[in-house]
Structure 1
């Protein structure tokens, strides 16, 4: 049987993060929730999701996140991994660093 998959939504630095993990539970640190075995898409092709890439870079080498309970918005057990996201806490709009476009010649 496959391990369960969780979508964890939490506040961090004025933004809302949506990550996927295989393990969520009570932390040994009082007042924290432990999120482990983070799941990211591994794209070998030409099309790369910049948000997924940014999250993978930010959490590279992270074995376990210990998130303060008050920062967690929602934990959902899901069947399939969706798109990870970073959203603005006020507007809910996705925060994506766009691909730089070349400047127009004058």
Structure 2
């Protein structure tokens, strides 16, 4: 059986006045996500425990079958491996988000 996980991470937002008090997701046209939801299997997974909101790296490690309380994988190292970069003991991988602020 072939399996693909589509992890929707970080889509939560607040309603925006300019969008008719809808969230960006509610206002978006999402035909591909609609198709996947209609034809695939959907569900909710508590990656570290019900009521705990994990960071992306913790959730991803758990989804891949590792105990996030045993294996501390930083998001920088996780994304470096995902980009095909070889990491070895002593290496440091950092990640950041760039942003600009308007006037």
TM-score normalized with structure 1 length = 0.24
RCO higher in structure (CA 8 A, sep ≥6): 1
TM-score normalized with structure 2 length = 0.25
Structure having the higher strand fraction is 1
Compare CA radii of gyration and give the structure with the larger one: 2
Structure having the higher helix fraction is 2
